[in-house]
């Protein structure tokens, strides 16, 4: 039996949503990997905003460290100049890609530096930071010391396959070991904390091999945040970087003077669209912490699920609700990275956006593999994904509007109520349609970013199948079947309407354009509003235009 739209089917998600991306190294230009994480986070942020959640979406840049110093030296500029140049590229890229970040945090900004120094002061005061000296194997690419056992296992090669380097120097340590039992207990008692589950098992088994205290400063480096009690040392580098997730929210509360400076800095930030710009005030921390999701690539899982929780325990701050590690884009099976020089670069991405649209790129990135798995860029799969959009979604909208305009003067007929007659044979389609809001919310809540595409795609396919089978074009020829025609059209119209609403976070421009063709005014509408009511009887639909025009292959 068909059920009418009913808001009780829709489970409202959490009332606030704080999502972060990693802060990226601006030692080179952004590439597909950075674009991927940021677009995935953008999809989630858009969904939660649409769902009515108070949403905060943070991204930014991680500007300190030896890589920046080395690259700047090669180019004969200062690390700050290098950072400024590349940060400008990141910021303008996010604008170009319509990324809806609410803030952009730079680790070289005064607001971040001041907050990090306060954090270090707290950790020194609590006895969690102490001076020692360190000699060990160092992975310069990953910016971390590696234990002797690990160095041996890796045949003294860094993650990027260059040799590990031997370092020895006085350094401050963070008492990581002291917090390991707490971190482990936390991970074990919070099954959703690390996702996907395979990553959780990796972290837990690595924890069992033992963990050493964390070297957190360098006396030989100038480019970094000075330790407030010993300015001869700069922080190096994860404490600085990980803190961004709370310093951007104004943690710890600063003096009035500093708060004003911080808020002026927020207003001036050119990276933010004015509608999204917020003056950054300390209360953001109370409002948004703990983060709902730290979205990251799998290679920085350990830092986010061991170092970061340990720091938060030391500071007495709540843990983030979830750390989700997605897979890597690979090229011929190897991780794409700046060091390897094998990445899909901005020129390539701009090319596909110019020919196929930004939304087509967003669609492909999510469609390419189940979320969490590695992904391999393939031009032919990109083209198939685009064709699928046209054949399934575009075609469904096109047919529905064509027929509605032809047979019903573009007016939505009345709700036919429960299925009768030949519609009784279409219970699967009707069920899919009825359960749609719940299915979609479940996939979003699980951050199943391929499924959030498949759910609407399947409903559009089922609608196409329903139309093929019920053949409104035949019903229209028989005046005795006018009632049936109206019922079939009602179900088809409402179904494509749901599909397009669901696609708004993924295909913001195309879905909005499709909804405009359905005569829907999106202003001031949230997802619960959109889902809770069908298009009413008498609603005027618009004219159809192809959403995904066929692209001629390059000659």
- Residue with smaller CB distance to ligand ME8, 272 or 336: 336
Tokens 């192809």, located at residue: 546
Reduce the DSSP state of residue 235 to 3 states and report it: strand
Q: Give the whole-angstrom CA distance, residue 216 versus residue 129.
A: 9
296 φ/ψ angles, rounded to the nearest 5 degrees? -145, 170
Reduce the DSSP state of residue 144 to 3 states and report it: strand
Binding site residues, ligand ME8, CB under 6 A: 22-25, 33-34, 36-37, 62, 241-242, 296-297, 300, 328-329, 335-337
- Residue with smaller CB distance to ligand ME8, 33 or 437: 33
CB of 341 to ligand ME8, least distance (A): 12
DSSP characters over 163-204: BPEEEEEEEEEE-HHHHHHHHHHHHHH-TTTEESHHHHHHHH
Strands of the sheet with 334-335, listed across from one edge: 334-335, 329-331, 375-376
- Residue with smaller CB distance to ligand ME8, 300 or 535: 300
Q: Give the whole-angstrom CA distance, residue 426 versus residue 104.
A: 49
CB 110 within 8 A of CB 261: yes
CB of 548 to ligand ME8, least distance (A): 26
CB of 374 to ligand ME8, least distance (A): 8
CB of 500 to ligand ME8, least distance (A): 29
CB of 164 to ligand ME8, least distance (A): 18
CB of 34 to ligand ME8, least distance (A): 5
CB 499 within 8 A of CB 460: yes
- Residue with smaller CB distance to ligand ME8, 318 or 478: 318
Element (H, E) at 239: helix 238-242
Residue nearest to ligand ME8 (CB): 33
CB of 116 to ligand ME8, least distance (A): 12
CB of 215 to ligand ME8, least distance (A): 17
| C-alpha closest to that of 202 among 95, 304, 112 | 304
Strands of the sheet with 217-218, listed across from one edge: 217-218, 230-235, 226-227
- Residue with smaller CB distance to ligand ME8, 242 or 272: 242
Look up residue 376 and give its two tokens.
């391999």
CB of 79 to ligand ME8, least distance (A): 14
Q: Give the whole-angstrom CA distance, residue 184 versus residue 503.
A: 38
- Residue with smaller CB distance to ligand ME8, 23 or 360: 23
Going from the C-alpha of 539 to that of each of 362, 482, 486, the distances in angstroms are: 31, 19, 14
- Residue with smaller CB distance to ligand ME8, 241 or 515: 241
- Residue with smaller CB distance to ligand ME8, 9 or 206: 206
CB of 145 to ligand ME8, least distance (A): 16
Going from the C-alpha of 353 to that of each of 28, 29, 364, 386, the distances in angstroms are: 22, 18, 11, 12
Beta strands 226-227 and 230-235: pairing type?
Answer: antiparallel
């Amino acid at each position: 039996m068909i059920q009418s739209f009913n808001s009780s089917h829709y489970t409202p998600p959490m009332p606030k949503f704080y999502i972060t991306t990693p802060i990226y190294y601006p030692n080179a230009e952004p590439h597909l990997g950075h674009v991927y994480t940021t677009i995935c986070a953008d999809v989630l942020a858009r969904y939660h905003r649409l769902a009515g959640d108070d949403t905060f979406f943070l991204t930014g840049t991680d500007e300190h460290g030896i890589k920046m110093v080395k690259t700047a030296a090669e180019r004969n500029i200062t690390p700050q100049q290098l950072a400024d140049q590349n940060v400008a590229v990141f910021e303008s890229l996010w604008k170009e890609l319509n990324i809806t970040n609410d803030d952009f945090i730079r680790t070289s900004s005064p607001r971040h530096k001041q907050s990090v120094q306060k954090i270090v002061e707290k950790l020194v005061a609590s006895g969690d930071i102490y001076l020692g000296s360190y000699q060990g194997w160092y992975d310069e690419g990953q910016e971390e010391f590696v234990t002797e056992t690990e160095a041996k296992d890796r045949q003294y090669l860094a993650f990027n396959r260059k040799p590990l380097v031997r370092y020895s120097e006085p350094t401050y340590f963070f008492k990581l070991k002291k917090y390991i039992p707490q971190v482990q207990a936390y991970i074990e008692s919070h099954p959703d904390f690390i996702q996907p589950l395979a990553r959780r098992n990796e972290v837990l088994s690595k924890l069992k091999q033992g963990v050493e205290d964390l070297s957190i400063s360098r006396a030989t480096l100038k480019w970094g945040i000075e330790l407030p009690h010993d300015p001869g040392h700069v922080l190096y580098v994860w404490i600085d970087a990980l803190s961004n997730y709370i310093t951007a929210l104004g943690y710890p509360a600063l003096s009035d003077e500093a708060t004003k400076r911080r808020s002026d800095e927020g207003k001036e930030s050119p990276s933010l669209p004015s509608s999204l710009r917020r003056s950054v005030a300390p209360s953001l921390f109370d409002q948004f912490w703990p983060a709902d999701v730290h979205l990251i690539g799998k290679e920085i899982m350990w830092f986010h699920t061991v170092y970061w929780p340990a720091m938060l325990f030391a500071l007495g701050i709540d843990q983030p609700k979830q750390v989700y590690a997605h897979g890597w884009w690979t090229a011929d099976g190897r991780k794409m990275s700046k060091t390897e020089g094998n990445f899909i670069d901005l020129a390539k991405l701009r090319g596909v956006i110019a020919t196929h649209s930004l939304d087509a790129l967003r669609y492909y990135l999510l469609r390419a593999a189940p979320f969490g798995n590695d992904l391999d860029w393939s031009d032919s799969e990109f083209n198939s994904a685009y064709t699928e959009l046209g054949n399934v979604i575009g075609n469904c909208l096109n047919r529905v509007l064509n027929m509605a305009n032809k047979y019903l003067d573009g007016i939505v007929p009345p709700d036919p109520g429960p299925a009768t007659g030949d519609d009784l044979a279409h219970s699967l389609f009707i069920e899919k349609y009825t359960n749609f809001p719940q299915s979609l919310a479940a996939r979003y809540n699980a951050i199943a970013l391929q499924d959030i595409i498949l759910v609407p795609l399947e409903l559009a396919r089922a609608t196409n199948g329903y139309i093929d089978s019920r053949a409104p074009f035949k019903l229209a020829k028989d005046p005795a079947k006018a009632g049936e025609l109206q019922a079939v059209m009602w179900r088809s119209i409402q179904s494509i309407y749901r599909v397009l609403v669901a696609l708004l976070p993924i295909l913001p421009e195309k879905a909005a354009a499709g909804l405009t063709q359905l005569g829907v005014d999106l202003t001031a509408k949230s997802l619960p509003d959109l889902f809770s009511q069908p298009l009413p009887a008498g609603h005027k639909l618009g004219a159809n235009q192809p959403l995904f025009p066929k692209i001629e292959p390059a000659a």
